Amino acid sequence: MKPFAHLAKTLTCLFALVLSGGATICQGQSKGQSKSRDSSYINLHLGPTLPNQIDGVTEILPSWGARYGFPIFSGYLLESGAIISRGKGTHAYDFHTSIRSDMDINGYLMAIMYLGADFHYYAPPHSDFHSAFGGHVGIGITAPIIDSIWIRSDMKFNINPGTSLYIGFGLEMPI
């Protein structure tokens, strides 16, 4: 239960930051200012993974990860990253690559959609490691906090092995 308490505390702090400061800062930006996509970025995130129909994995897993992205052509980005999940004796690693598209909602918020491939390396409790290739589709939203730092929240639905849903919250910064 301790990892979930830490995860809940972190998510609560992140949510409070957005409600208190993020919305105020967003309103202070000029209309039409959008997220710059002319450079690479990193996204650090955390959240729960909800597994379904994965042999031996039955518990919600606390997870964290990182992504690196860069523009590949007008309106599209290439993202690669990893998500690490550990809990209740389960160890899971998800290495993924996605094609991402952004859509400006109102000059401040950006909707994101992505599709890609995954390599999973996981071990259920008291079992050996297994590997599997799969795919994913995801949606999310980003909002500016300060200058070039954005908050990102997204849901990544994985197919094979079984299905799983990762709900992530984090920060996205240019590098």
Q: What pLDDT shows up at residue 39?
A: 83
Rounded to two decimals, the pTM is: 0.79
87 pairs with which residues across the strands? 90
Mean pLDDT, residues 119-127 taken together: 94
Q: Which two tokens stand for residue 10?
A: 């972190």
* N-to-C CA span, the chain: 36
- For 71, what's the count of Cα atoms within 13 Å in the CB-facing half-sphere? 11
CB 114 within 8 A of CB 99: yes
Give me Rg for the CA atoms of the chain.
17
- Helices marked H in the chain — which ranges? 2-17, 23-27
DSSP 11: H
Which segment of 15-24, 62-71, 89-98, 153-162 scores lowest on mean pLDDT?
15-24
How far is the C-alpha of 98 from the C-alpha of 117, rounded, in Å?
7
pLDDT (tens digit per residue) in 37-87: 578 999 999 999 999 999 888 889 999 999 999 999 888 999 999 999 999
Q: Please name the residue that has the structure tokens 């690479």.
A: 40
Contact status, residue 45 vs residue 68, Cβ threshold 8 Å: no
Retrieve residue 122's tokens: 């996981």
Using CA atoms, how far apart are residues 17 and 11, in angstroms rounded to an integer? Answer: 10
Q: What is the mean pLDDT of the chain?
A: 84
**Which residue ranges form the domains of the chain, and what is each CATH number?**
2-174 (2.40.160.20)
Are 156 and 169 spatial neighbours (Cβ–Cβ below 8 Å)?
A: no
Cα gap 99→87, rounded to integer Å: 29
Q: Is the pLDDT of residue 12 over 70?
A: no
pLDDT confidence tier of residue 107, bands split at 50, 70 and 90: confident
pLDDT in tens, 97-106: 999 999 999 9
Choice among 36-40, 51-55, 116-120, 161-165 with the minimum mean pLDDT:
36-40
